[in-house]
Structure 1
């Protein structure tokens, strides 16, 4: 394998972060970014790391999972976190930035580094030789996506995601729900939220009048009949959902001995059983509306959401099928994926995947051992999710506490502990394990920026 340099395709947050970590470890980089010669429908400038949707990088609080992820990035010498600090604007507990200053800082750092060559050119095919990091984001061009399918398989690449909300298991009212699989007398894997006729009617009324998120100019609604937004199904008739995702057939409520009028099913999202997915509830409702409407479901009155539902343009691979824990393609280990295309959701999460891809690509370049962060860290929790989630139901995910292994203490004690305290202890554990990993693997020993 030729190793004159590493090719990075895409100059967003993930591509910029990956390029920085390669160059700061002495590895020459050729960074391809098609802007400004060819703009995407979402971008307005030719600067690297342009934020297109929001100037907020979400919570700074260490008792939030994304706050922990940002602190880990800072400790791993993230360029994106450095840019955020110099361009930060007041926003309470959130990390918000001046978008122009943010992009300008990243662009200046990348373009002036002696080992990084920025080439403003569109790449439509993956180079046949050398180490490559693909960090083209949710708006990956169809030409490059088609070429990537050579290495991932036709069925493992997606252009649109239809995401259902996910709730934390400990926020479900277990007294109002029951476990059962359809047509089975035994306790099953699904959690069922039964509804009376009156509850169903009130729910439909709220759903039909709830405010929706409009599509961006660059998005066209590409709904598939087998994966329609819940509100679109409701608009086709008040009984549609009772014959679709909310059908009660084959589900007997053990408390009444009868089938409910309607049922909302929750499917376990992870092996630990800390997260549950609302089956068939992909939606374009605004987040506050999702909270209001979906908390009308019996058992979910106090539900806390690890992820809200959405339907939007997002190119990503089925990571559990195609990626290793070091972000290399299983079929072609010289190719790394970084950012949202790898199966994470959000700016901060994309940055973290860019950092890990750059770190491991630099090690492959030098024929050194690739590394995986501890599962207890935010970086490790994300890697574990995208590579170990069920391939059948895989969808991109933001970092959240449900992805972390529980604290090592009796379950009863964990349950009684206030959430803030539990999350504080999980964050402390993560940072302790991160520092030990950095020392053991000499993560920053060759970092010279």
Structure 2
């Protein structure tokens, strides 16, 4: 197959971009190094769109949550990632969580079966000369990262991203733990809760701080963490109560054995369709593996825990997108190249897919000799794109999840009403972007030379 465009990277962004282009009738070469003899520090399979951290796409509430609104917009635009996430969702209350293996397999199958897509297992070390989208994510190979650095004239920024442990359900002691919703919000009881007394919590907190951690390499020492994926031991270092106001918050969670809130709570969320695997929410960590097993088994209910995966740590890299990219994600110094996904500095699974979708649609328009305007900044897609391509100060640019703080503000409304105003405004703006309203026709009366609006 001859190709119209080359996409490098088969993660969420690359897979979505490839799908959008192929569905538009363009012939796509999608290069993914996993499966071609290459590995990364974080991935464990060669499947496309593999979820390496949590299995959650976060809130699916499109009425009052920016990420839920982004879900809805992607569904409206025919997102492959959202289609397969909906097909393989697992119980998680108001959140959209998926069976990670089934999800990745279904994305891989869809890409491999598309007649306009050519999936090639290969490592790419240089920027293509023709139309291309770079969606290599936070673990871009050294050679390609060097080529990007040569093209941009800037060093990539970097931060650490940490993985949470996954526990076998049968090893959780349900005589101690109990089911409830996330902080008792909603009617479904989709989370397993492990209670802690004050003494148990303080001992656990001390263990996090004292525990043996992965050593830093020399080039990693000045790399900042991303606040949205902070290792739990780093949070613990910020203060003795930081975890009790964060991932171990007990508010609203009545222990059925006491009828009272515990001093702290560890929550686990279902990780696969069979409900055999559960991940410890908010427990991203860089503790050594043996230390994780020892310390996490001091959590009541997890004293006999068997781990399907322990936590880990890997380095993420991203470019100074507000300085380097134009409003349609093209590299200003090489306009044949677009970037998509986490390498642009968006953070989160669904945000990566969203930028992949936009990059694919922008590229499809270019190939067809047309242009499309970026989505309005009042939409979730437009707000996220605006942050990446110019809404942030380049010198202090940091990864960002979608949130209402990226949207143009709503004035003169009660705080409780603003979120609904944001979402209503976004839906109207997206509808107009997809199908722009036609101007009223101009009529010229027979007895007048002056045109009038109909």
* TM class, shorter-length: 0.5 to 0.7
How far off its partner does 1:78 sit?
A: 0.2
Equivalence for 1:381 = 383
Q: Which residue is equivalent to 2:278? A: none
TM norm structure 2: 0.65
After TM superposition, give the deviation of residue 161 of structure 1 in Å. 5.7
Distance 1:294 1:84, change over 3 A: closer
Q: Secondary structure at the match of 1:138?
A: helix
> Are the equivalent residues in 1 in contact too, given 2:25–2:116 (CA < 8 A)?
yes
* 1:153 paired residue number: 153
CA contact (8 A) 2:17 2:357 kept: yes
Shift of 1:31: 0.4
Query: Secondary structure, in 3 states, of the residue corresponding to 1:50?
Result: coil
Quote the offset at 1:5 in angstroms.
1.1
Measure how far apart 1:431 and its partner are: 1.1
Instruction: Supply the distance in 2 between the matched residues of 1:30 and 1:216 (Cα, whole angstroms).
Output: 41
SS at match of 1:43: coil
Q: Which residue of 2 aligns with 1:98?
A: 99
Q: Which residue of 2 aligns with 1:293?
A: 242
Q: Deviations over 1:219-265 (max 9, x none)?
A: 8585546x777xxxxxxxxxxxxxxxxxxxxxxxxxxxxxxxxxxxx
What's the counterpart of residue 48 of structure 2?
A: 48
Which residue number corresponds to residue 395 of structure 1? 398
Which structure has the greater CA radius of gyration? 2
CA distance in 1, matches of 2:49, 2:212: 23
1: CA distance between counterparts of 2:430 and 2:12?
22
In 1: Cα distance, 2:76 partner to 2:213 partner: 35
Q: Which runs of 5+ in 2 are unaligned?
A: 163-201, 246-283, 286-312, 439-454
Q: Alpha carbons of 1:216 and 1:224: their partners in 2 closer, same or farther (altered >3 Å)?
A: closer
Following superposition, the deviation at residue 47 of structure 1 comes to: 1.4
- 1:371 aligned residue (370, 373, 380): 373
> Residues of 2 paired with 1:375 and 1:324: CA distance?
15
**1:144 corresponds to:** 144
The answer to whether the Cα contact below 8 Å between 2:326 and 2:389 also exists between their aligned partners in 1 is yes
1:6·1:130 contact (CA, 8 Å) conserved in 2?
A: yes
Give RMSD over aligned pairs: 3.7
How many residue pairs get aligned? The number is 331
Question: Matched residues in 2 for 1:312 and 1:8: separation?
Answer: 24
1:5 aligned to 2:22?
A: no
Alignment partners' CA distance in 1, 2:229 and 2:106: 37
Residue 283 and residue 22 in structure 1: after superposition, are their counterparts in 2 closer, same or farther (change >3 A)? closer
Q: Residues 158 and 224 of structure 2 are in contact (CA less than 8 Å); yes or no, is this contact kept in structure 1?
A: no
**Residue pairs, 1:271-350, within 5 angstroms:** 284-285=231-232, 289=236, 292-293=241-242, 313-350=315-352
Q: Could you tell me how far apart the structure 2 residues matched to 1:125 and 1:93 are?
A: 42
TM-score (ref. length: structure 1) = 0.66
What is residue 184 of structure 2 aligned with on the other side?
none
Q: Is the 8 A contact 1:212 1:285 kept in 2?
A: no
Rate the CA distance shift 1:214–1:92 in 2: closer, same or farther, 3 A. Answer: farther
CA distance in 2, matches of 1:143, 1:432: 44
Gap change, CA 1:162 and 1:53, over 3 Å in 2: closer
Aligned residue number for residue 24 of structure 1 = 23
Q: Aligned runs of 1:147-226 on 2, under 5 Å?
A: 147-155=147-155, 157-160=156-159, 209=206, 211=208, 222-224=219-221
CA displacement 1:358-393 (0-9 Å, x = unmatched): 000111112211420100011111111112211111
CA distance 1:55–1:422, change in 2 (3 Å): same
SS in 2 for 1:437: helix
Question: Counterpart of 1:438?
Answer: 434
Per-residue deviation at 1:150? 2.1
Separation in structure 2 between the aligned mates of residue 318 and residue 338 of structure 1, nearest angstrom? 13
Cα drift, residue 36 of structure 1: 1.2
Q: Distance in 1 between matches of 2:361 and 2:210?
A: 37
Is 1:417 the counterpart of 2:366? The answer is no
Shift in Å, 1:43: 1.4
Distance 1:282 1:350, change over 3 A: closer
Distance change (3 Å), C-alpha of 1:14 and 1:218: farther
Counterparts in 2 of 1:284 and 1:87: CA distance versus 1, 3 Å = closer
User: 1:30, 1:119 within 8 Å by CA — same for their partners in 2?
Assistant: yes
Specify whether residues 119 and 370 from structure 1 end up closer, same or farther in structure 2 by C-alpha distance, changes over 3 A only: same
Q: Could you give the per-residue CA deviations for residues 25-82 of structure 1, whole angstroms, max 9, x where no partner exists?
A: 0110000011112121211211111111121111111211111111111011000000
1:82 aligns with 2:87: no
SS in 2 for 1:440: coil
- The alpha-carbon deviation at position 211 of structure 1 amounts to 4.2
